[in-house]
Structure 1
Amino acid sequence: MRNDGNLDDHHGLGGPADRSDDVTPTNWAVSGFKYRFSNALSRLAGLGGLDNQAADRRRRNRMTIISGAACCLGLVGFSLIPANPAGQSPTPDQRAEIAQRAEADAASRGKARESVAPVTESPAPSSSPSPTAEPTPSTKPTPSTKPTRSAKATAKPKPKPKRITPVAGLDQAQMDNATAIVRAGQKMDVPRRALVIAVATAMQESNLYNYASGVLPESQNYPHQAIGWDHDSVGLFQQRPSTGWGAVPDLMKPEYATQQFLTALLEVPGWQDLPLTVAAQTVQVSAFGWLYAQHEWRATEVVDAVVS
């Protein structure tokens, strides 16, 4: 027996001398487990460091700076292009994206810079405003003067002569011609008696119709209401151009023909005291001079209707 109180194991292979007094079999097993566990942790830490390095490398490779002119403003744009890990070629999708961005950058740099200097002429309007063009101050429109109304616009239109209702058995055409005779005499400021003589004379000579002459075809080119064949006599008073009464175009006008008759009447001495037939015949020198007097009362009624 040993003196340390421990029994020898007679069934062991090496006896008491084969085992250490400081390390028991249980401690040895625990120590071996700790060693293997720490070694595994070291290996995992090493792998983690490698993973961190690879991640840092991937992040660095992912950042690529692309500088260029952005829309002619001198701005620098930054684009992030994902980079593949080292040793790997880009996929077809990545190649298409890189080519599309490169094409867009090249097109942006290739654009000509638009001038922002003021121009004298207004540029043609574009569908969308240019980002580089500065707004030019609009020219202040010159205030236009208000158009002045013309004299014709402001002046009141002249009232049309009142159409006189026919009297003394006349129709409207006859009454219109009689009214023209009276109006022409009023412009000449002749006495009322001269107006009655003029109307009565026209009643006898033309029945108050404006006659053209079949002998003078020229007279038919002007407004007329009848055609006569008494030599070259024309108009309301059947005045003959061949005897000096005037030109055919003028004698076909009722106002001109009346002026010619009244001018000749006013030259007859004492015409106001003469009978109507004598006064008219002195001017007209007609072959039927005594017939003028029969129209005196009707002529008076016509003059009263126009003058009143």
Structure 2
Amino acid sequence: MKGPLFYAKILLFGEYGIIKDSKGLAIPYNSYKGALKSVANLSGEAKKSNENLVKFYEYLKDLDTNIVSFDLDRFKQDIDGGMYFDSSIPQGYGVGSSGALVASVYDQYANDKITVLENLTRDKLLKLKDIFSAMESFFHGKSSGLDPLNSYLSLPILINSKTNIEPAGIPSQKEGKGAVFLLDSEQVGETEPMVNIFMNKMKNEGFRRMLNEEFVSYTDACIDDFLHGNIKSLFGNVKNLSKVVFAHFKPMIPSAFHKVWEQGILTNDYYLKLCGSGGGGYILGFTQDYDKAKESLKDYKLEVVYRF
């Protein structure tokens, strides 16, 4: 067997804010992908993945069937037959490796599944998000369900609030000088500890106020600017967002990148922000002149995501 491909995702804006009901914008990232496959003799990564699927199967057995039910017998049969998730999506990098796996399993084994081809009303999108949230919680302890949703639909998704999500039309890429890029921290980040740090910070009234008054308002402004192609305004808001994250989310920024982060704000060559929960993996960069950013960051691995 060989299942369909599911792609990585990038949350351009909204990390942490969407936990507190602010806006978010996620886009598929087709450079990385995964699919369910089977082999007769499992070894190495495939064997590890197969063992992980056994644990996932046990978890899905106990999931509330009012939310979603699966053809578990067939799932177990396929796992026993050497099924694994063959993926190029780096794990712990904030680009949705578990989301693509969840989307694959739902696509193959869910009963009465909502398909990509039907008319995706808001209610159906929210139902999918709830299903994916319940499924992906196996990997992260608590999941918004957005990564698998993005991977499953392979569409940009605009999160207006927890109960209001919609497919988004994003401006088509131009062959300009500006770019959104990924900066490889070359270390793995784990979602759960980062989210726990955030939840502890949320107990502090000053942090909550900063989140609402600064972080969320800059995030929302960035999304509006990006969707409407207001590039000049976008970079002003991204700079402000980068400053706020540097000031208040330091534990989520790998310490080796504190100087690099600050350097971007001081020189205006690029601005950095978290990609996913942080703590490692990729860091997202925005620049009006990619050649200049590349020169400034020549010691690091960069990948272009979107051109302005």
Q: Which has the higher strand share?
A: 2
- By relative contact order (CA 8 Å, sep 6+), the higher-ranking structure is 2
TM-score, with structure 2 as normaliser: 0.19
TM-score, with structure 1 as normaliser: 0.19
Could you say which structure has the larger radius of gyration?
1
